[in-house]
Amino acid sequence: MRPTRLKNRSWHYGWLIVLAGFLTLFACLGLARFAYGVLLPSMRAGLGLAYDQMGFVSTGNFAGYLAAVALAPQLVRRLRPRATIVIGLSAIALGMLAISRCDRFLPLLVLYTVVGMGSGFANIPMMILVSHWFRKQRRGRAAGLMIMGNGAAILFAGFLIPELNRQLGDAGWRWGWAIPGAISLVIAAVVAVLLRNDPQELGLTPLGEAEPLPEEAFVGERRGGGRILLLLGAVYLVFGFTYMIYGTFIVTTMVDELGLSQERAGMLWSLVGFFSIFSGVLFGALSDRIGRREGLMVVFAVQTGAYLLAGAGSGVGVLVCSIVLYGLSAFAIPTIMAAAVGDYLGIGRAPAAFALVTFFFAFGQTLGPATAGILAEAMGSFSVSYLAAAAMTGLAVGLSAFLPPVRQGS
């Protein structure tokens, strides 16, 4: 009767899945992606990179992520989520360690593309597991807690990398890759121990109350599923295009356009990490209460404010307000999206649906930094890119309004 006993305990293994997800996102997005923006000024100086090359390297990472989106469903079916996630984390770790030894643009581009593939192989199945381990009324909170790993990593990088640059000078950026690479390797080992593919492996059921839902709650499963997928994909594409323009270039903007030191810019960037720790869980819980559609609209409105303030170019005080808004909303969209796919399409269709909308997201973030880098190289400023991002997220508010309502569990 062991399975029955486990089901009746107040503690549930799903919370260890959340911990494994927190660590996975700490490595695969927080360190592997967002540390790049903090490292850019010193890397640019050390390797002699132009703005457009910086954008292309970032785009290479996202192109790798895009390729992983296409391959991940097949890999998950063959190897299951646990093994796929560990492979992805291992690729990230080894890629970052190798980047620490780069001395030219082309090897950097290739290796960071590999890191992007590892990020996709780790992130996509990890977010899919939310729908397997948590029922509807807990999914937003669970996804939000996992995504706190992104913010924790940004905060960590915001303190670590400027200190390495201060202590080690020209070699600081190399250690800024090597140390996170070593940490990611440790995380891969820990996640391999903690993760389970589904509750049935432990004789458990998903966490949350099973309750009958009215017919309209399953509108996405029975009718209109294609339209809903397109809408979710469109808003996710906008998010991918816009949020990584800011995430890639805001530290460079502070250093090159506002004249801040790398140490001060890194400290301000760490504010993004601090506030984004609360981003996923805050808006995930909000979307559990008010609905996924309304939650998406609120988040995109907040992001529009952040990009408008960044594009205004009105000084450090305005930029701090922008950073706070960006941090508070930074990881809310992936949190809501992970829950919304399960809500609208049903658990059975969630893996394929999440992979599809993530393809839109990956395509958007592939284009965003390269476009912004080319514009900045041509115009000498990132202001136009931030204002364009604001226009796109304003459009996303309107697109989100076309999603149908789904009743949330209590």
* CB atoms closer than 10 angstroms to residue 387: 16
The answer to whether domain 2-205+217-400 has CATH 1.20.1250.20 is yes
Q: Where are the domains of the chain?
A: 2-205+217-400
Interatomic CA distance for residues 371 and 72, integer angstroms? 27
Provide the residue type at 61 as one letter.
N
Tell me the longest C-alpha to C-alpha distance in the chain: 69
Which residue is listed with tokens 């109350």? Answer: 209
234, 399 Cβ separation under 8 angstroms: yes
Which residue is listed with tokens 């643009």? Answer: 105
Interatomic CA distance for residues 212 and 262, integer angstroms? 55
Tens-digit pLDDT string for the chain (410 aa): 344 344 445 678 988 999 999 999 999 988 988 788 788 888 888 888 887 788 788 888 888 988 998 888 888 889 999 999 999 999 999 999 999 999 889 999 999 999 999 999 998 889 888 878 887 767 777 887 888 888 888 888 888 888 898 888 888 899 999 999 999 999 999 999 999 988 888 888 877 665 554 444 444 444 456 888 899 999 999 999 998 899 888 988 898 888 888 788 888 888 888 888 888 788 888 888 888 899 999 999 999 999 999 998 778 889 999 999 999 998 889 888 878 887 887 766 776 787 788 889 888 887 888 888 888 888 888 899 999 999 999 999 999 999 988 654 43
